[in-house]
Amino acid sequence: MGPDAGSSGDGFVTLLSTPWSLDPGSEQYDCYRVTMQQDVWIKSIKPIAPVGTHHSVLMLVTNPTEPDGLTQCSSLLTDPAIYASGVGTNELDFPDGIGLHIKAGQQLFLNLHLFNASDSPLTGTSGIEYLPADPTTIVHEAGTVLAGRATDATVPVGLNQSLQFTCTTPANVTMFAVAPHMHLYGIHLNATYNPGSDAAPTTVLDTDYQFDNQQFRMMPQQLTTTAGGKYVVTCTYDNESGNPIDFGESTTQEMCFAMTYVYPPQEEAICIK
């Protein structure tokens, strides 16, 4: 299903959506591409995420090389992201003057991670809905940065095991909303920003974590980055499995991300430096 193909009845319009099916105990990545036929301005956005939708990332393809349509794929988080959601992610209403802009002719790329933990087949339709904005009210166009790590880390055995990842920022990127993303062993996420010099770090997010409640929070004050500033994300886990847990794409592995809304949009979907 393509852009503007339907409405949920509350003013929200379907941006894009795709059906899927999963065998018992299985997981997969679905990649869905749609080329926009008209400009879209967005002031609120939310996921279409029935049971089985582990997470979704919506990207704008910089140089399209793949045709529109649905394929099974891997976690291809390579293009600039404009939205990301996990289990239980809420509707996000942008502050006044901030919104998303998708231009006619741009290709949308929805990366879906689907997971069926049950003993029965599972089907659903996942995607993104939005509330249209008046373009004359948008001063800043926004995007998403996933700050943290998806691979190349391991959670040791034991309680309160913390891993820390640091992103080095360019200047003049403004953060205004953030949500945590881990998998089943995560219990807490702390994110701070240190602009350098003698300034004290600012807490961006400090929250206990529940896998089924990955909510965006508006920051009390918007924060503008400096060149060489450090965005530090610390994830804490209770690993009582008896074995180390590697980071990776599977729901049974782990990740550590602060899903952060910023303006202007950034060229990379993930900050893992």
Task: Using the 3D structure, point to which of 141, 161, 187 is the last residue of a domain.
Answer: 141
Inform me whether the pLDDT recorded for 161 exceeds 70: yes
Same domain? For 134 and 154 the reply is no
Q: Tell me whether residue 70 is in a domain.
A: yes
pTM greater than 0.75: yes
Q: Tell me whether residue 153 is in a domain.
A: yes
- Tell me if 190 sits within 8 A of 163, measured CB to CB: no
Same domain? For 71 and 137 the reply is yes
Same domain? For 162 and 58 the reply is no
Provide the 3-class DSSP secondary structure of residue 219: strand
Per-residue pLDDT of 54-96, as tens digits, reads 889 898 987 888 999 999 887 666 778 888 888 889 899 999 9
CATH code of residue 99:
2.60.120.310
Task: Using the 3D structure, point to which of 119, 141, 163 is the last residue of a domain.
Answer: 141
Same domain? For 116 and 170 the reply is no
Per-residue pLDDT of 11-65, as tens digits, reads 999 999 999 999 999 999 999 999 999 999 999 999 999 999 988 989 898 788 8
Residues linked to residue 191 through DSSP beta bridges, in sequence order: 205, 233
Task: Using the 3D structure, point to which of 141, 175, 190 is the last residue of a domain.
Answer: 141
Per-residue pLDDT of 188-246, as tens digits, reads 999 999 998 778 899 999 999 999 899 999 998 999 999 999 999 999 999 999 999 99
Number of compact structural domains in the chain: 2
Model confidence at 254, pLDDT cuts 50, 70, 90, reads: very high
Same domain? For 119 and 202 the reply is no
Report the distance separating Cα 214 and Cα 54, nearest Å: 11
Residue 1 is predicted with a pLDDT of 43
Report the distance separating Cα 108 and Cα 16, nearest Å: 9
Q: 41 is in which domain, residue-wise? A: 13-141
Same domain? For 24 and 76 the reply is yes
Same domain? For 132 and 193 the reply is no
Same domain? For 133 and 181 the reply is no
Residue 76 is predicted with a pLDDT of 63
Same domain? For 28 and 125 the reply is yes
